[in-house]
Chain A
């Protein structure tokens, strides 16, 4: 008998798909006019409440909006990744679940919610439960300092860049915990490899950030963007075009370190699918596994966002500024991350570490010295 598509499935799909696509469109519109909305809300609050309460409610709304955004992003990114992967491989990707697969992420999320929560016998129960929380916290807490527009930031820390580096390294503890607590040799391998990788790649990341900080003079992310306020031409243009190409090298190195920090191919040895089944998250099922997944996509976006801010001007664009420009730049860098994933094979763990210690760190140090010299010379 030929398989027929169930009528109910077609009805649900045809009903929900336009909603999702309209929602995405509405989201983009809101991002585009976000400064005006934020301004409106601020003035309303200041006229209605006392100053402290106004700022508290403002920040709470900002937190809520960021949490909402950061929770929705993986849903879109998962669909985007699957489509990019498919078209690179001459396939179509998800097509059935919604128009061209737009409901696929929702379907996967609902499926993961319904899965049985298995904790393996002999696993370290408290650590097993805490590990996904640490990983996702490490990825999402850094969004507190990412500025989306002039003044559109939850907390304008003076040590913003340092905060980001510190918080993302919390994720590595989570992965190590997950590998250990699973009572599984494969997970242990994955966790150990990941710990070595993440700790090693913190160093070039911090050094590259140091390179940029020399040029800006402050760790505050808003100052970093203010130092690039001229767009593509002018004395205050985007950092990536300055310093005679040294900043371009720094950009590439930061991008590579970012890939390694988020365990993406070619650095995905901790979750190497073909070797260790699924590495450190082999034993996780259901929503706990979903946490690891969400953390990976959140961290991807974070790395791309920080790269856009540090090198490509953040929300300051060539012609017009605003959150939409920042969104598009980050999306482009995320696309480059996915592009690399589907092109390159995996590095073995010792080659990965050799790359870091023997190539990235010396080159970064050389760039650092050169940039410091040029900055001193320029006054």
Chain B
């Protein structure tokens, strides 16, 4: 067949891909290729299927590899921050926060209270925006076209708030080493409160339209079961881990930016419509997290210190002492961490990003066996992957 010839020419020695010679009777290799409406980026998944049942699945990544870690070895510390934005482009506030925290740890800088509150504000807003995108596109994968647009309508408001704050809608370059780039403009907090007031009924409406819909729960609550032991064995984190019933949140375990002062709950999957750890549980943990984020945001807006210079602790030249540092935060996708090695110069020696989505893809083949093709889409959507973060 023509298709088989083309693939062989491109990857002559790929030991990882399925070999057509190994197929048994009735089995077929189906390629959900890099260009696909539902793989949330350029992800290629090779499926060995027997009719509709998947016998084995192998994800191929690397189509979005942009040499982030190599770039970071050639640019000064503050200049790496736009690059970290582009890792997980859906939740870029969280990436730059983690990086900035790591460098601050390296240089032993302690930021002021106002900076911490601002960082919490934007992180939680970013969490809501990212979860809205995850939920909307998950509905789209399952076939419900309308919640996608309703979620994006709310996301527009958040992006407008961010544009008002720092000038960009998606890739902000906001968290700097030692502070943040802009202070809040006049009236921002009032408009943020207005947004929160308008947003809470939307989550309820989303429940009516999508989350509790019987067709949706039938599609998602019985597939992609990740048992707690499997989740811990594969080092999952974030909503994927909490969907399996384990209460683990970096904001509670290793608080940063003053998270210990805020009062919020950690939602976990409870197996409401099926076994614990199903796709529906992971999806609903994200919906609940949005509610908790709204709670944190109200507290942060109330407790915002009135004074404080956001550029106070930003060093003129970032030149840390030789050493290494590792810092982690809870991003919308899980536990993101940066490991930075410094040799005493203006440019980092090594920057490594530990990406939660990469870890989640590692367990994909375990949960994909035995499911149908339609369920593969549901599983990928529920893991909420962003290829920018996986490939860096």
Number of CB contacts from chain A to chain B under 8 A: 82
Q: Is A4 an interface residue (CB 8 A)?
A: no
Of the residues A185, A266, A268, A345, contact of B28 by C-beta under 8 Å: A185
Interface string of A269-288 (1 = CB under 8 A from B): 10011110100000000000
Q: Is B375 an interface residue (CB 8 A)?
A: yes
Asked whether, in the complex, the Cβ of A275 is within 8 Å of the Cβ of B149, the reply is: no
Q: Is A350 an interface residue (CB 8 A)?
A: yes
Q: Is B218 an interface residue (CB 8 A)?
A: yes
9-residue interface stretch from A8-16, A86-94, A142-150, A322-330 = A86-94
Q: Which residues of A contact B142 (CB under 8 A)?
A: 274, 345-346
Asked whether, in the complex, the Cβ of B149 is within 8 Å of the Cβ of A91, the reply is: yes
Of the residues B143, B209, B375, contact of A274 by C-beta under 8 Å: B143
Asked whether, in the complex, the Cβ of A89 is within 8 Å of the Cβ of B28, the reply is: no
Q: Which residues of B contact A350 (CB under 8 A)?
A: 52, 372
User: Shortest CB–CB separation between residue A83 and chain B, in angstroms?
Assistant: 14
List A residues 159-214 near B (Cβ within 8 Å): 185, 189
Asked whether, in the complex, the Cβ of B143 is within 8 Å of the Cβ of A343, the reply is: no
Q: Is B75 an interface residue (CB 8 A)?
A: no
Residue of B nearest to A86 (CB): B149
Asked whether, in the complex, the Cβ of B146 is within 8 Å of the Cβ of A343, the reply is: yes
Q: Is A158 an interface residue (CB 8 A)?
A: no
User: Shortest CB–CB separation between residue A82 and chain B, in angstroms?
Assistant: 12
Residue of B nearest to A184 (CB): B3
Main secondary structure of the interface of A (DSSP, over half): loop
Q: Which residues of A contact B30 (CB under 8 A)?
A: 185
Asked whether, in the complex, the Cβ of A349 is within 8 Å of the Cβ of B374, the reply is: yes
Q: Is A351 an interface residue (CB 8 A)?
A: yes
Q: Is A126 an interface residue (CB 8 A)?
A: no
Asked whether, in the complex, the Cβ of A348 is within 8 Å of the Cβ of B375, the reply is: yes
Asked whether, in the complex, the Cβ of A277 is within 8 Å of the Cβ of B36, the reply is: yes
Of the residues B144, B146, B153, B377, contact of A275 by C-beta under 8 Å: B377
List B residues 165-182 near A (Cβ within 8 Å): none
Asked whether, in the complex, the Cβ of A345 is within 8 Å of the Cβ of B37, the reply is: no
Asked whether, in the complex, the Cβ of A189 is within 8 Å of the Cβ of B150, the reply is: no
Q: Is A347 an interface residue (CB 8 A)?
A: yes
Interface string of A85-111 (1 = CB under 8 A from B): 100111100000000000000000000
Residue of A nearest to B149 (CB): A89
List B residues 190-221 near A (Cβ within 8 Å): 209-210, 213, 215-216, 218-219
List B residues 342-367 near A (Cβ within 8 Å): none
Asked whether, in the complex, the Cβ of A122 is within 8 Å of the Cβ of B1, the reply is: yes
Q: Is B299 an interface residue (CB 8 A)?
A: no
Q: Which residues of B contact A342 (CB under 8 A)?
A: 145-146
Residue of B nearest to A354 (CB): B218
Asked whether, in the complex, the Cβ of A89 is within 8 Å of the Cβ of B215, the reply is: no
Residue of B nearest to A120 (CB): B2
| Distance, CA A236 to CA B142, complexed state (A) | 44
Asked whether, in the complex, the Cβ of B219 is within 8 Å of the Cβ of A345, the reply is: yes
Interface string of B39-54 (1 = CB under 8 A from A): 0000000000000100
Known A266-B215, A351-B218; contact A345-B143, beta-carbon cutoff 8 A? yes
Q: Which residues of B contact A116 (CB under 8 A)?
A: none
Asked whether, in the complex, the Cβ of B374 is within 8 Å of the Cβ of A122, the reply is: no
Q: Is A118 an interface residue (CB 8 A)?
A: no
List A residues 256-315 near B (Cβ within 8 Å): 265-266, 268-269, 272-275, 277
Of the residues A90, A272, A348, A351, contact of B153 by C-beta under 8 Å: A90
Give 16 CB contacts A-B under 8 Å.
A89-B145, A89-B149, A89-B150, A185-B28, A269-B374, A273-B37, A274-B38, A274-B141, A274-B377, A344-B213, A345-B213, A345-B215, A346-B219, A349-B374, A350-B52, A350-B372
Given contacts A349-B372, A350-B52, 5 further A-B contacts (CB under 8 A): A89-B146, A275-B374, A345-B213, A346-B219, A350-B372
